[in-house]
Amino acid sequence: MRIDVVTIFPGYLAPLREALLGRAIDAGLISVAVHDLRTWTHDVHQAVDDAPYGGGPGMVMRPQVWGEALDAVVGDVPSGEAPPRLIVPTPAGRPFTQAMAHEYAAESRLVFACGRYEGIDQRVIDDAATWMPVDEVSIGDYVLVGGEVAVLAIVEAVARLLPGVLGNPASAEQDSFSDGLLEGPAYTRPETWRGRAVPDVLRSGNHGAIARWRRDRALERTAARRPDLLAALPPTALDRADRAL
């Protein structure tokens, strides 16, 4: 997978070259190119923003700069080849989910546009949507200063699903949300720590009982913390034992 990120703070994306993602880049499983948006400015101040039409606080990112940047970064898409998907992190976006991470992992190329200030002039999104799929995506209902942090989160969630990136592919299959539920509590040695013992069932060796216990804890945690996820499960997702909980 090829990943391009356009930002006014390229250094913010340095963590993409660390740890698991760094190893995936070194192994050639993904390629990451980070582009400084100011490359496509033509004034001495390298201005990327301007006052919003209609007034109001803050500044809006200029369409000319973004238009030239995306034209250059996406480049001419060879005929017959699918264009990349453009992902624009924004608080006004569709909530990013594990299901979307799987969708994005099937793409051969992703381009991320990192907005700052009050966002990117809407015409940039509208223009881009005439020649490539565009997703405006939110990683949460809180206010960040820009899209870079969201790109780090989305790229990590997507890259770990790519074949060869995770040491143990089973990890991705047993992800939180993979069965629509939150993961339950996890334990490791020692058996007792500060007077708190590991639940006996986890040391019983009874794999059926362990699976049941883990499922029950996941259902309890999901019901308590994310009832919306429980409500979204298809009726067939809960078996008789689940309903007895």
Ligand X SMILES: Nc1c(O)cccc1[N+](=O)[O-]
143 vs 244, beta carbon nearer ligand X = 143
In the set 10, 15, 63, 91, the catalytic residue is: 91
Q: Give the dihedral sign, CA 97/103/106/111.
A: negative
Choice among 68, 71, 103, 118 that is catalytic: 118
Region at 27 (left for phi over 0; alpha for psi -120 to 50; beta for the rest)? alpha
Catalytic hit among 175, 179, 183, 220 = 175
Task: Rank residues 12 and 219 by Cβ distance to ligand X and give the closer one.
Answer: 12
Least separation, in Å, of the C-beta of 126 and ligand X? 19
Mapped onto helix, strand or coil, the DSSP state of residue 49 is strand
Nearer to ligand X among residue 41 and residue 90 (C-beta): 90
| Cα distances (angstroms) measured from residue 205 to each of 106, 174, 188, 198 | 38, 20, 15, 13
Q: Is 225 a catalytic residue?
A: no
Catalog residues that contact ligand X under the rule CB under 6 A. 89-91, 138-140, 142-144, 146-147, 150
**Got the DSSP string for 201-230?**
GGGS--HHHHHHHHHHHHHHHHHHH-HHHH
Q: Choosing from 23, 38, 85, 160, which is the catalytic residue? A: 160
Shortest distance (Å) from residue 162 CB to ligand X: 21
Instruction: Specify whether 190 is catalytic.
Output: no
52, 23 contact by CB (below 8 A): no
Q: How far is the CB of 139 from ligand X (least distance, A)?
A: 4
In terms of Cβ atoms closer than 10 Å to its own Cβ (0-12, 13-18, 19+), residue 88 is buried
- What φ, ψ does residue 93 adopt, rounded to 5°? -90, 175
Strand, helix or coil for residue 232: helix
User: Based on CB atoms, which residue is closest to ligand X, 4 or 136?
Assistant: 136
In the complex, minimum distance from the CB of residue 149 to ligand X, in angstroms, rounded to a whole number: 7
Residue 91 among the catalytic residues: yes
Judged by beta carbon, residue 53 or residue 142, the one nearer ligand X is 142
Distances (CA, A) of 6 to 87, 133, 167: 11, 17, 30
Q: Cα dist. 223→70, 191, 217, 235 in Å?
A: 43, 28, 10, 15
Nearest distance, CB of residue 91 and ligand X, angstroms: 4
For residue 200, indicate whether it is catalytic: no
Just list the catalytic residues.
Answer: 91, 118, 160, 175
